[in-house]
Amino acid sequence: MPVRLLRSATVGWRPLAAAAGSSVAARRPESASSSAPTGRSENDRGRMVRIEQDILGRNDRLAQANRRWLAEHGIFALNLVSSPGSGKTSLLCRTVRALAGEGSVAVIVGDQQTEFDAERIRDSGARALQINTGKGCHLDAAMVGRALPVLAPADDSLLLIENVGNLVCPAAFDLGEAHKVVILSVTEGEDKPLKYPDMFAAAELMLLNKVDLLPHLCFDVARAEAFARRVNHRLQVIRVSATSGEGMDRWLAWLRRGQAQAADARAAAAAETDRHRRRSGWRPT
Ligand code: MG
Ligand code: ZN
């Protein structure tokens, strides 16, 4: 079963870093006794930085391969990131239901454990593939690269990737998406954009979710949006509620624009390849 294969092939951040760290210790047995009171020596710190760079460098190469594959198929892919409990899955379910009959939507869902979210999304009418990251706290490009041929999204379709609920390291891991979309709910702190600036800086769009609850809270929307724009002045913001449906029309319009652009780019690239082949006298065999 492909889903099980994917699960067993999961590579998390932690096991890799831990394995690399232990091999460092094995090769340099003197490091424990010679290290400064602060813990690691300069040498070890340099090595740790290199290991991190290697992991991120490898991830970036795989993300570029995903991006090429998605572009060739005209697929508009989004990486949805947030804290746990921001309402990502409910928003995805409502989005899937609203887009029913408009061409296909496929979803990749990342969670440490369980298949619950993928089941909810399937119930809404989209094909969904769950990736369990185990101890891993984010999706990486390798996991998405393995999921793509299994899920096989249709040409010119929409692919929504729900990342593991975590505002920290998903910011550093490119999956090959067109954009990151960060979801902040009004039940969280207004200052989250300042506390976790990397994620808000990396995002193209912020969905401010659960706005139907505003009458019951003292959440200052203007303040939250100002904080978000302080770390990313280009950030677009849409206020939504997956419960009441408020703002869904703007979010759906944003999705449709992106999807149309991805499809147009694929058609243009295909036409260009065709022209090139005809000029060079290429004939199908
Ligand atoms: Mg979820
Ligand atoms: Zn992580």
Cα of 266 from ligand 2 centre, angstroms: 32
Residues with CB in 5 Å of ion ligand 1: 88-89, 117
More confidently predicted of 28 and 267: 267
Counting ligands in written order, the one closest to the CA of 133 is 2
Helix extents (H) in the chain: 2-8, 13-27, 31-34, 42-72, 88-98, 116-124, 141-151, 192-195, 197-202, 221-231, 248-279
Q: What's the pLDDT at 183? A: 98
Cα of 41 from ligand 1 centre, angstroms: 40
- Per-residue pLDDT at 219 exceeds 70: yes
Q: What is the pTM of this model?
A: 0.83
| CATH 3.40.50.300 assigned to 59-266 | yes
Cα of 51 from ligand 2 centre, angstroms: 15
Least confidently predicted of 89-93, 177-181, 277-281? 277-281
- Per-residue pLDDT at 24 exceeds 90: no
Cα of 170 from ligand 2 centre, angstroms: 6
pLDDT tens digits for 36-81?
Answer: 455 678 889 899 889 888 999 999 999 999 999 999 999 999 999 9
pLDDT tens digits for 125-136?
Answer: 999 999 999 999
- Per-residue pLDDT at 173 exceeds 70: yes
Cα of 202 from ligand 2 centre, angstroms: 15
Q: Dihedrals φ, ψ of 186, to 5°?
A: -75, -5
The residue with tokens 């206020």 is 239
Cα of 253 from ligand 1 centre, angstroms: 23
Q: What's the pLDDT at 169? A: 94
Q: Dihedrals φ, ψ of 241, to 5°?
A: -140, 120
- Per-residue pLDDT at 22 exceeds 50: no
Q: List the chain domain ranges.
A: 59-266
- Per-residue pLDDT at 179 exceeds 80: yes
Cα of 43 from ligand 1 centre, angstroms: 40
Counting ligands in written order, the one closest to the CA of 166 is 2
Counting ligands in written order, the one closest to the CA of 242 is 1
Token pair listed for 167: 């505002």
